[in-house]
Amino acid sequence: MTAERSPTAAETELNSDPARQPDPDVDTLHAAVSDSPRPPRPSAVSASLTFGWRALLKIKHVPEQLFDVTVFPIMFLLLFTYLFGGALAGSTSAYLQELLPGILAMTVVFITIYTGVTLNDDIDEGVFDRFRTMPVWQPSVIVGALLGDAVRYTIASTMVIGLGLLLGFRPEGGAIGVISAVALLLVFSFSLSWIWTALGFIMRTPESLMGVSMLILFPLTFISNVFVDPRTMPGWLEAFVSINPVSHLVTAMRGLMHGTATAGDVIIVLGLSAVFVVVFGPATMYLFHAQQ
Amino acid sequence: MTERTSPTNAADRKRHSSAGTTSTVSTRNGAASVTDDRQRDRGTRSTTDGTDPTDTAATAQTATETEPEREHPLAIETTGLVKHFGETKAVDGIDLAIPAGGIYGLLGPNGAGKTTVIRMLATLLQPDAGTARVFGHDVATDGDAVRRRVSMTGQFASVDEDLTGRENLVLLARLLGYSRAQAAERTRELIDAFGLTEAATRQVKTYSGGMRRRLDIVASIVVTPELLFLDEPTTGLDPRNRNQVWDIIRALVANGTTVLLTTQYLDEADQLADRIAVIDEGRIIAEGTPGELKASVGSGVLSVRLRDPECRDAARDVLTSVLDAPVELESDPAALSARIEDPDRVTQALDALAESRIEVTEFTLGQPSLDEFFLEVTDRPTRGGADRDATTDDGMRQEGVE
């Protein structure tokens, strides 16, 4: 390209300027920046998978981020099983059968917060700006992050179920029941994460985002059917539990794991998931574009 | 190696871009001749880009277009660009007309609105009012087309600090559409060319400032963009790293990329930019070639330090009479300085001091500082600097006369 343009008077003058020593690397520089045709734009799926790969690389470089994913579920499971199991269900092993699907749901639902926190960090660091100025399908940066998170959810699920089996969890639905329960959980978590991505754009710091998310998630996970039978609760509380999406998720997961699930249980969860995506997906993308 | 426009071209461009700006030159003279070759090349490039049928169609259409200004859309064209953040008018009516090719500098202090302008042009921010076009594509309504042509290196690290340098580049290459193998190949090429071999497998958070900046810029040119935004590319770098960054920028420009650069340093704008817009409080307060702008504040400043502070008043009288310019007393009791129009008089002035037996321990002949420049330009509402003729270009090559 340069060859097409004869040097102007000013250029010649500057090149002969003794104060400007040509850098020895200049030729290599020129070669590296020389035109190569722009490759075709990647598909939405390909771009999302690439961002998912980025999330995995981050896990590889910062394995500490898996600490919450692994240690908390183990702690919760042991704590609740042995502390309350005997009192609540007569025996720890009887309680474990009911508790495990609930703890699993609670654990993974809590981990979804990190989606928003990671996004918030990205925005702070400026790397997000680069992604936003690239000609890729714009939501892929978020979808990719969520796909990466799915890996984290799977790791957490494996930990909880593995430990549960050691402690005496015996799912009557068999392997298929357990796997479909986990799959349902992943769908629900992926959908729920859009709430945090939307909040990730609104909140200024990861800390405040964490605070708000906890404020939402504590009632959502504790005031549910995870730990106890809602029928023992006062009516107003039971009413909340019965409309709590987490309760529906836990009901469906218990059913799948023990082979008693109805299609209705599963459909409600899928419906709720769809609502999350339909409401908070566009909200996220709106905030993404409106971001200052 | 350096890309500078000849005075004729500069004059051409100046007239063209002035038409849209606050400057008083009103003749609209198409800058097409300046950028002919490059534009034609761009056209070829976009037709080979198989992914973009609209683009190809547009090229075919413009090829048959007779009106020269349509055939060569400006790299950047903004009219009345405004962006408010709450009460603050970050950008308050900016008009730019920047032809393709070369380096255009946005010069201004912190908070002047430079970054906001760049962020709007890179589709990161929506303008509150006015329009902005990049190669003819509106940033507000045709963001995708803009993003296919630009690349941005922000003021802060715009790479993932948790990943290694290599992973960052592969990630970007994949996002730009390279296959796995091509991405690895392109990454290797870039790492070798930009001296990042040793650092390629380390996490970016362990990089030195200069190395990180280099990676930042390399990350912007995985696919050579048609327009590159560089937001204060050398702020905080030592001179060696700064020169390396400048070399990269010059190499890019020699290859046909248009660069829009923001800087706080007059020196940097001077070294790199073909034209400069000076921005203050969200407005363009002056526009022109570096030479034109500096000519508007005199060609330089002579600073003198005396052995005996007692002699300062006498020295001032001598300098005033020889230089025929106001002489300022510095806060250092032995130092004084004068703005000079004619560098030849400097030797006369020093001779005169010697004849008067005033001993000088140190003297420098420097560029007007950005501070002085701003003071001068903001004090002068007529923007005299931008309207002077481009022939004063040599005003800028007087550094190192000492």
In this structure, whether the domain defined by B7-22+74-294 belongs to CATH 3.40.50.720 is answered with no
Window from A24-38, B210-224, B251-265, B366-380 with minimum mean pLDDT: B366-380
Instruction: Determine the Cα–Cα distance for residues B103 and B96; give it in Å rounded to an integer.
Output: 14
Nearest to A11 among B2, B155, B156 (CB): B2
Which residues is B261 bridged to in the sheet? B105, B230
A141: nearest CA partner in chain B = B175
- Residue boundaries of the structural domains of chain A: 43-290
Inter-chain contact A14–B125, Cβ cutoff 8 Å? no
- What residues in B contact A55, CB-CB < 8 Å? none
Best residue in A5, A17, A27, A38 for a mutation probing chain B (most B CBs within 10 Å): A38
Instruction: Determine the Cα–Cα distance for residues B329 and B316; give it in Å rounded to an integer.
Output: 8
Given a cut of 80, is residue B122 above it in pLDDT? yes
**pLDDT tens-digit readout, B259-292:** 999 988 878 888 889 999 999 889 998 888 887 8
Inter-chain contact A132–B124, Cβ cutoff 8 Å? yes
Given a cut of 50, is residue A165 above it in pLDDT? yes
Which residues is B107 bridged to in the sheet? B263, B278
Inter-chain contact B159–A19, Cβ cutoff 8 Å? no
* Residue B362 token pair: 């140190």
Inter-chain contact A34–B186, Cβ cutoff 8 Å? no
* CB neighbourhood size of A226 (10 A): 25
Q: For B185, phi and psi rounded to 5 degrees?
A: -65, -45
Given a cut of 80, is residue B3 above it in pLDDT? no
Q: Which of B40-54, B115-129, B371-385 is most confident?
A: B115-129
* Residue A246 token pair: 């987490």
pLDDT at B34: 36
CB-neighbour burial class of residue B251 (10 A; exposed 0-12, middle 13-18, buried 19+): buried
pLDDT at B63: 41
Window from A121-125, B70-74, B279-283 with minimum mean pLDDT: B70-74
- What residues in A contact B189, CB-CB < 8 Å? 31-32
Flag whether the pTM goes above 0.80: no
Inter-chain contact B193–A25, Cβ cutoff 8 Å? yes
| Residues B294/B374, Cβ–Cβ less than 8 Å | no
Instruction: Determine the Cα–Cα distance for residues A48 and A136; give it in Å rounded to an integer.
Output: 9
* CB neighbourhood size of B308 (10 A): 12
Residue by residue, DSSP assigns B340-361 as ES-THHHHHHHHHHHHTT--EE
Instruction: Determine the Cα–Cα distance for residues A291 and A141; give it in Å rounded to an integer.
Output: 15
SS3 labels along chain A: CHHHCCCCHHHHHHHCCCCCCCCCCHHHHHHHHCCCCCCCCCCHHHHHHHHHHHHHHHHHHCHHHHHHHHHHHHHHHHHHHHHHHHHHHCCHHHHHHHHHHHHHHHHHHHHCHHHHHHHHHHHHHCHHHHHHCCCCCCCHHHHHHHHHHHHHHHHHHHHHHHHHHHHCCCCCCHHHHHHHHHHHHHHHHHHHHHHHHHHHHHCCCHHHHHHHHHHHHHHHHHCCCCCCCHHHCCHHHHHHHHHCHHHHHHHHHHHHHHCCCCHHHHHHHHHHHHHHHHHHHHHHHHHHHHCC
- What residues in B contact A14, CB-CB < 8 Å? 2, 4
Best residue in B160, B247, B258, B398 for a mutation probing chain A (most A CBs within 10 Å): B160
The answer, for B171 touching chain A at a CB cutoff of 8 Å, is yes
- Across the range A275-292, mean pLDDT stands at 86
**pLDDT tens-digit readout, B299-335:** 677 888 999 888 888 888 888 888 887 888 888 888 8
Inter-chain contact A25–B2, Cβ cutoff 8 Å? no
| Residues B205/B161, Cβ–Cβ less than 8 Å | yes
Inter-chain contact A134–B147, Cβ cutoff 8 Å? yes
pLDDT band at B378 (very low <50, low <70, confident <90, very high): low
With both helix axes pointing from N to C terminus, report the angle between B7-20 and B32-48 in degrees, rounded to the nearest 10. Answer: 80
**pLDDT tens-digit readout, A41-59:** 899 999 999 999 999 998 8
